[in-house]
Amino acid sequence: MTNSLTGKVALVTGGSRGIGAAIVRRLANDGATLAFTYVASAEKATALASEIETAERTPLAIRADSTDPAAVKAAVTQTVERFGRLDILVNNAGILLRGLVDELDLGAFDRIIAVNVRAVFVAGQAALPHMGQGGRIINSGSVAADRSGFPGSSIYSMTKAAVAALTRGLARDLGPRGITVNAIQPGPTETEINRDENLRARLRPMMAIGRMGKDTEVASLVAYLAGPESSFITGAALNIDGGYLA
């Protein structure tokens, strides 16, 4: 434990599994008090909360569907009511709905924008009244913002490009308040959600270092951006992709 985040309160959306859970574990390990949201995986959320609980810090797992703006706002409110402050917001929740442009219906289009873009804005807006000097907003983007890579990913790629653009704009808006806003852009990463070995075998040769990323590696970048040593970084979209875009 580095204790670099001791005394800080963090909210991670979509934090019960995959990269989100790795982020929750890392921020807790660095001393932060954690709240995180989940949608369907209540058992995983409960288990994760128990795993990171300490004598000094009891985490808060919040059921909140990121397609619902009211639920996103309520997650921020519950976090502040429980812990009295909010220092770090990690907009990690996201969905991937693949389909060729003539196959995806408007409902799928609206849903992916709601989760991947609108929820980022809604959570950030709700968090701002509770954030002060040194606040951190970290948005989960993707290398798909710069390279779609596969047919059927056009809408997903569009949303992640929007996250990068929104991050830059928010950085300009919030810089005078001493709040930094950055995005991480992971490449293909091995998680419990992504277990298809055939897919992994196809992806590995695309990396300059010949392997996919680990969720703990992505969490390390988030922890750095959440910590005091990143205070001069804002408006950045940082690739963590093993050379996928090289």
d(CA 146, CA 160): 9
Which residue of the set 38, 156, 224, 244 is catalytic?
A: 156
Q: Which residue's entry shows tokens 């599994």?
A: 17
The SS3 call for residue 51 is helix
Where are the alpha helices (H) located in the chain, listed in sequence order? 18-29, 42-52, 69-83, 106-113, 119-127, 154-174, 197-203, 215-226
C-alpha distances in angstroms, 226 versus 68, 146, 234? 26, 24, 11
To the query of whether residue 156 is one of the catalytic residues in this protein, the response is: yes
Check residue 210 and report its DSSP letter. S
Token reading at 180:
């930094």
Specify whether the CB–CB gap between 15 and 92 falls below 8 A: yes
Beta bridge partners of 61: 36
86-101 b/e with 16+ CB inside 10 Å = b? bbbbbbbbbbbbebee
d(Cα 119, Cα 111) in Å, to the nearest integer?
11
What positions carry a catalytic annotation? 156
